[in-house]
Amino acid sequence: MKARLKKYTALSRIGILSELHFRLSTFVVILGNLVYLTLVYFLWKSIYASSGTSTVNGMSFSDTLIYLVLATALFNFLEMYMVWEISRDIQSGGIILKLLKPMSFRSFSFWNYFGRNIMTFFLTFLPTFIVIDAVTKGYIHHGFNLIYFVISVIMALIINFNIDLIVSTICLYTESTWGINMVKECIVLLLSGATIPLAFFPEKLRHIVTYLPFKSVYDTPLNILLQKKGYTTPKGLLFALGLQLSWCIILYIISKAFWNHSIKRITVNGG
């Protein structure tokens, strides 16, 4: 157990160093997000101005803006870009070297990306959280919700990893996943609440989305952090975290079975 933990720690450290090596890309992402958030601000300001009311679907303009700013920061923190990397490895033949390592490909990928996620947390999400907390002056409650938020984010990371791995496995069949990955990104960002808060969805659609894994990636952690209605009681928290845990297990089983079955037919163009 100690030796295994040492290997995982080493892989996470490699991920951290890799992220530090490409610092410019991080700043480019931050700059791009500032432009995106500027557009989001004026878009939703226009929506609320045209609605004729200060509250839409139970959310004020400030509620919506804070939610979307934190959702964007959480996206930068959780995003892995694993599909692109595996697709390139298959096309170049580099994936063979990773498969020959004395560790399962799944474990190697997860802990390597985990190190990168640690760095993006400190470079993107934490600064955003601090700024929002300072500007809103107590809007975000500092209590047990922060602990539950951390637990929720860890499970969101696992869910997001397994969704990416399932899509990445399709690379073994198609060798190119640009279109498939774009569809996946659109579905996840839309149904997770990262682009539009789920409170704005029609009631029937919102009820369906509640039980899908995508909500567990962004909407659930953010609602726990911001203590939205239904996430402040023990029953509500237990349901939200229990649903996340269930999807962690389900997606882990699916992604592992799909990968183990598909890896038997791997073909590469290079190497």
Q: Is residue 271 part of a domain?
A: no
Q: Tell me how far CA of residue 113 lies from CA of 11, 139, 242, in angstroms.
A: 9, 32, 24
Query: 3-state class of 55 per DSSP?
Result: strand
- At 223, list the tokens: 């609602």
**Is the Cβ–Cβ distance between 246 and 228 less than 8 Å?**
no
Which residues are bridge partners to 55 per DSSP? Answer: 60
Task: DSSP for 109-156, please give it.
Answer: HHHHHHHHHHHHIIIIIHHHHHHHHHHHTSSS--SHHHHHHHHHHHHH
Q: Which long-range contacts (CB under 8 A, 24 or more apart) does 3-7 make?
A: 7/103, 7/111
What pLDDT, on the 0 to 100 scale, is given for residue 225? 93
What pLDDT, on the 0 to 100 scale, is given for residue 242? 96
Q: Is residue 155 part of a domain?
A: yes
Q: Is residue 270 part of a domain?
A: no
What pLDDT, on the 0 to 100 scale, is given for residue 269? 57
What pLDDT, on the 0 to 100 scale, is given for residue 53? 81
As for how many domains the chain has, the answer is: 1
93: left (phi over 0), alpha (psi -120 to 50) or beta: left
Closest CA to 129 of 75, 195, 41, 69: 69
Looking at residue 194, the DSSP 8-state letter turns out to be S
What pLDDT, on the 0 to 100 scale, is given for residue 8? 61
What pLDDT, on the 0 to 100 scale, is given for residue 26? 64
What burial letters (b/e) apply to 45-61, b meaning 16+ CB within 10 Å?
eeebeeeeeeebeebeb
- At 232, list the tokens: 């402040």
Looking at residue 81, the DSSP 8-state letter turns out to be -
At position 38, the amino acid (one-letter code) is T
Domain that holds residue 193: 2-265
Rounded CA-CA distance 111/90 in Å is 20
pLDDT along the chain (271 residues), means of 10: 64 61 66 79 87 82 90 85 80 76 79 79 84 84 91 94 90 77 87 88 89 93 89 91 96 92 70 46
At position 79, the amino acid (one-letter code) is E
